Amino acid sequence: MIKIGIIGCGHWGPNFVRTFNKLKDTTVKYVCDLDSKRLREIKKRFSSVFTSTSFRDILKDSEIDAVVIATPAVTHYQLAKEALKFGKNVLIEKPFVLNPQEANYLIRLAKRVNKIIMPGHIFEYHDGVRIIRNYTREGKLGKIYYMYSRRTNLGPIRNDVNAIWDLALHDISIFNFILDAVPLKISADGFSYLRSHIEDVGFITLYYPQDIIAHIHVSWLDPRKIREIVMVGDKKMLMFDDLDGNFPLKFYDKRVMKKKYERPYYTFEEFKMIIKDGQVSTPLIKIREPLLVECESFLEYIKKGRVPEEVLKRGIDVVKILKGIESSLKNKGKEINLSIR
Ligand SMILES: NC(=O)c1ccc[n+]([C@@H]2O[C@H](COP(=O)([O-])OP(=O)(O)OC[C@H]3O[C@@H](n4cnc5c(N)ncnc54)[C@H](O)[C@@H]3O)[C@@H](O)[C@H]2O)c1
């Protein structure tokens, strides 16, 4: 039986308690939050769990094998460092940490103390995203021209990180995962409407190898909740709507073909553009709860004693890209070259 401690039980933390308790051979023994009101609420829902306002109580409990850090981003590094030093396996909610040096340090520390550390990039465990990844890898979209995502809503508004760290992080993680690549350069604009130094809205362009352009629009100041990704290839196109519980994926058999006129032609304009407006298919896919798949993977990695290198690498990549975005924001949208790999 793997015993888990959850550090941070605000909006997101209780989902870990619920999810781990659903899985076999594991239980959430301890929950910690600075706010005792949160702990009383947790105790009402999960009566057998121990609670504390000090995370050290969890770390000192020798029965606890692993902790999940679901606190605000600014606390992740310190909490993870201490947890590893106490000999716990660690799952850190997104964002992993706030700079690549911290990420590298934690990964090295985990190896030194023979424990694992895993960044919780939930969309890597999303069946819909995994289908898109396979589809793209198999070349079914053809050559990818461009892709974009929209992740907007009215709130929730964070105080420790901006909307880009909070929301665009998901899209960067998804794009890197689907394309199995990292951007060569990025540019980003962000706007702070509610407070002077925290961007509520972001527009980010990522330039991937093979001339693939990806654009991200995030906002927590928007009338509509949208969670959408569109990919356009030269053979097919697709749309992923994470809010559509039954048919989140739509494949469009649509493209534009270039065909030469029969008579002699002299300029590019004399190519004929033929619109192929084919069927839209909406496969009925049974999507497992992504958090459940993430938690299962964490348990599997604990049993194996290691997290796959590519998972860790993707965790660091996202932090590096976000740091690049920060530079671009500071320089009014300047293109920033990234040399990640
Ligand atoms: N993967 C996802 O889809 C997803 C969704 C929401 C939030 N998150 C992430 O989860 C984390 C928490 O987000 P949230 O929305 O639950 O925030 P929140 O503010 O609702 O909750 C954070 C909780 O952590 C507690 N806390 C802060 N410092 C602590 C400490 N040192 N020890 C113990 N408790 C402490 C606070 O009292 C609060 O209750 C963030 O990193 C966020 O980015 C991920």
Cβ partners under 8 Å of residue 91, min gap 6: 66, 67, 68, 69, 117, 118, 120, 294, 295, 298
- Percent of the chain past pLDDT 70, that is, above it, reads 96
**pLDDT band at residue 263 using 50, 70 and 90 as cut-offs:** low
Which ligand 1 atom lies nearest to the CA of residue 69? 11
| Helix/strand/coil percent split, the chain, to 5 | 35, 30, 35
Cα separation, 314 vs 196, whole angstroms: 31
Q: Is residue 166 part of a domain?
A: yes
Looking at residue 264, its pLDDT comes to 60
Looking at residue 277, its pLDDT comes to 86
Q: Which residues pair with 152 in a beta bridge?
A: 219, 226
What's the average model confidence in pLDDT over 10-19?
Answer: 97
Domain extent, residue 261, equals 124-290+321-337
Could you tell me if 73 and 110 lie in one domain?
yes
> 178 alpha carbon to ligand 1 midpoint, in Å?
27
| Ligand 1 site, residue 34, Cβ cutoff 6 A | yes
| Ligand 1 site, residue 73, Cβ cutoff 6 A | yes
Cα separation, 68 vs 80, whole angstroms: 9
Looking at residue 265, its pLDDT comes to 58
CATH of the domain at 44: 3.40.50.720
Looking at residue 296, its pLDDT comes to 98
Ligand 1 pocket test target in 7, 9, 11 with most atoms within 8 Å of CB: 11
pLDDT for 168-179, tens place per residue?
999 999 999 999
Query: Which of 68, 89, 120 delimits the end of a domain?
Result: 120
> pTM above the 0.85 mark?
yes
> 130 alpha carbon to ligand 1 midpoint, in Å?
26
Cα separation, 102 vs 304, whole angstroms: 24
| Cis ω for the linkage preceding 95 (within 30 of 0) | yes
Rg of the chain, C-alpha, whole Å: 22
Q: Is residue 105 part of a domain?
A: yes
Q: Is residue 92 part of a domain?
A: yes
pLDDT of residue 320 exceeding 90: yes
Q: Is residue 259 part of a domain?
A: yes
Which ligand 1 atom lies nearest to the CA of residue 92? 41
| Ligand 1 site, residue 35, Cβ cutoff 6 A | yes
b/e burial code for range 159-168 (CB count within 10 A of at least 16 → b): eebbbbbbbb
Strand ranges for the chain from DSSP E: 2-7, 26-32, 50-52, 66-69, 89-93, 117-120, 144-154, 185-191, 201-208, 212-219, 221-233, 237-241, 249-260, 271-281, 336-337
Could you tell me if 12 and 141 lie in one domain?
no
> 13 alpha carbon to ligand 1 midpoint, in Å?
6
> 94 alpha carbon to ligand 1 midpoint, in Å?
10
Query: Which of 120, 135, 157 delimits the end of a domain?
Result: 120
Which ligand 1 atom lies nearest to the CA of residue 121? 1
| Ligand 1 site, residue 8, Cβ cutoff 6 A | yes
Q: Residue 320: how many CB atoms within 10 A of its CB?
A: 18
**pLDDT band at residue 288 using 50, 70 and 90 as cut-offs:** very high
Query: Which of 62, 88, 120 delimits the end of a domain?
Result: 120
> Between these two residues, 284 and 82, which has the higher pLDDT value?
82
Average pLDDT, the chain: 95
Question: Of 59, 108, 98, nearest to 76 (Cα)?
Answer: 98
Three-class DSSP category at 237: strand
Could you tell me if 115 and 128 lie in one domain?
no
> Between these two residues, 302 and 272, which has the higher pLDDT value?
302
Could you tell me if 171 and 96 lie in one domain?
no
pLDDT for 242-262, tens place per residue?
999 889 999 999 998 877 656
**pLDDT band at residue 269 using 50, 70 and 90 as cut-offs:** low
Contact 165, 322 (CB under 8 A): yes
Q: Where are the alpha helices (DSSP H) in 76-126?
A: 76-85, 100-112
Could you tell me if 108 and 147 lie in one domain?
no
Could you tell me if 160 and 245 lie in one domain?
yes
> 96 alpha carbon to ligand 1 midpoint, in Å?
12
> 256 alpha carbon to ligand 1 midpoint, in Å?
46
pLDDT of residue 266 exceeding 70: no
Could you tell me if 216 and 158 lie in one domain?
yes
Question: Of 281, 235, 207, nearest to 136 (Cα)?
Answer: 235
Looking at residue 286, its pLDDT comes to 86
Could you tell me if 143 and 284 lie in one domain?
yes
Could you tell me if 176 and 103 lie in one domain?
no
| Ligand 1 site, residue 155, Cβ cutoff 6 A | no
**pLDDT band at residue 267 using 50, 70 and 90 as cut-offs:** low
Q: How many structural domains does the chain have?
A: 2
Q: Residue 157: how many CB atoms within 10 A of its CB?
A: 13
What's the average model confidence in pLDDT over 62-78?
Answer: 98
| Ligand 1 site, residue 335, Cβ cutoff 6 A | no
Cα separation, 138 vs 152, whole angstroms: 30
pLDDT for 102-159, tens place per residue?
999 999 999 999 999 999 999 999 999 999 999 999 999 999 999 999 999 999 999 9
Cα separation, 187 vs 183, whole angstroms: 11
DSSP 108: H
Could you tell me if 134 and 106 lie in one domain?
no
- Relative to beta strand 336-337, strand 201-208 is unpaired
pLDDT of residue 209 exceeding 60: yes
Among protein residues, the one with the nearest Cα to ligand 1's atom 40 is 72
